[in-house]
Amino acid sequence: MLENGKISLRQFAILVTLFTVGDAILVLPSVMASQAKEDAWISAIVGEGIGLLVILLFTAVARLNPGMTLVEYNKKILGTTLGTLLSLLFLIYFLICAAANMREIGDFMATQSMPETPNQAIYIMFLFVVVMGIRRGLEVIARAGEMFFPGFILFFILFILFLLPQTHPENIQPILAEGMNPILKGALSSSTFSSVQLVAFLMIIPYVNQPKHVLKSFMSGTFLGSIFLILLVLLSILVLGVDGTANNMYPSYSLAKKINIGKFLERIEAILALMWFVTIFFKITIFFYSFILGLSQLLNLKEYKVLALPSAMLLMVLTIVIAPNTTFYHNVITWYWPFFDGTFNVLFPLLLLSVYGLRKMVSNNER
């Protein structure tokens, strides 16, 4: 195995939770409100329920060949040629997702915090931390997740409590005013923004010290991350209203600006930005780790860490060219990205299951 480290079920669940929240903590409420209006919170619930079903699909695929990564059992199930082709498509997907999340960091910092700083400088600093984490290995990444997770939970709970006095229940009325169609559209975005992208963990499951019991950790981590996102969408609508949420690219950041307790605790949006940096760091790191590990397995290398620096340069270039501007990127992730995610996270895993089932059926008939 290229990766010698092992992580516990608890560490795996924490990584799943942080990955699920990921970039969605800042951008998901806006996407949901633009599609499902007052029913965005219902749409989030439906979407996260779909995500849990997809986790069952991922676990079923992982159990086809225990101890193997996605890249390894692509070859075993589909053969060398088709398996390699599908693996290359997955690796490109992982790299594009990492670049998209990196782009969000640059756009956020340029518009909200550091408008005078070139995006390239921000990308370099963030990539330095990502590469350092990958070179330390999966165990260190998982331990870092354990270290940051309690603080994330605490700040999220305080964030909700501080905003409760500013909620307006009438903002979520009328319920189901436009029927189920907008809810279902929003549910697609909700699931693909968070839990459906967890296909990257098919590269990590073989390194869990109890892989036979990984389903429970996978489901619990996804469920907890989904609860965070549902509460965030609901809170955004209750405080900012539908228009205030839909027309704001970072509604949760605007929520943090509204916190004012006794005129001594206010303007704590920096804490929310820190929470977002933590979750998006783990999301980018896992996508990038999956890309490097999978590429090393395709190339039959003995060490995957040697690819970290050259791959980071490739990621840097892709991050810059992936979208010409923020508006273009926001439109793409709102209306088109869910179908891109669905292809790699639903269609291709179903293809693997179908081919495996057909091959097993043919094998049984020949006996």
- State which residues form the domain around 314: 9-356
- Compute the average pLDDT of residues 253-280: 79
* Mean pLDDT computed over every residue of the chain: 88
Domain-embedded: residue 62: yes
Domain-embedded: residue 308: yes
Domain-embedded: residue 363: no
Domain-embedded: residue 311: yes
Instruction: Kindly tell me the burial class for residue 332, based on how many C-beta atoms sit within 10 Å of its own C-beta (0-12, 13-18, 19 or more).
Output: middle
| pLDDT tens digits, one per residue of 21-68 | 988 888 888 888 888 888 999 999 998 888 899 999 999 999 888 889
| pLDDT tens digits, one per residue of 81-122 | 999 999 999 999 999 999 999 998 888 888 877 788 888 899
| pLDDT tens digits, one per residue of 328-340 | 877 787 778 888 8
Domain-embedded: residue 362: no
Please check whether residue 293 is in contact with residue 69, taking contact to mean a CB–CB distance below 8 angstroms.
Answer: yes
Peptide bond connecting 174 to the previous residue in cis, omega within 30 degrees of 0: yes
| Structure confidence at residue 265 (pLDDT) | 64
| Structure confidence at residue 178 (pLDDT) | 81
> Around 78, how many Cα atoms within 13 Å sit in the side-chain half-sphere?
20
Alpha helices in 63-180 (DSSP H): 70-78, 80-108, 119-136, 138-163
Q: Helix (H, G, I), strand (E, B), or coil: what is residue 208?
A: strand
| Structure confidence at residue 185 (pLDDT) | 84
> Around 275, how many Cα atoms within 13 Å sit in the side-chain half-sphere?
25
Task: Say if residue 263's pLDDT is above 70.
Answer: no
Residue 330: CATH number of its domain? 1.20.1740.10
- Compute the average pLDDT of residues 235-247: 90
The total number of structural domains in the chain stands at 1
Domain-embedded: residue 366: no
- Compute the average pLDDT of residues 304-328: 89
| Structure confidence at residue 338 (pLDDT) | 82
Domain-embedded: residue 97: yes
Task: Say if residue 262's pLDDT is above 70.
Answer: no
Domain-embedded: residue 45: yes
pTM of the model: 0.94
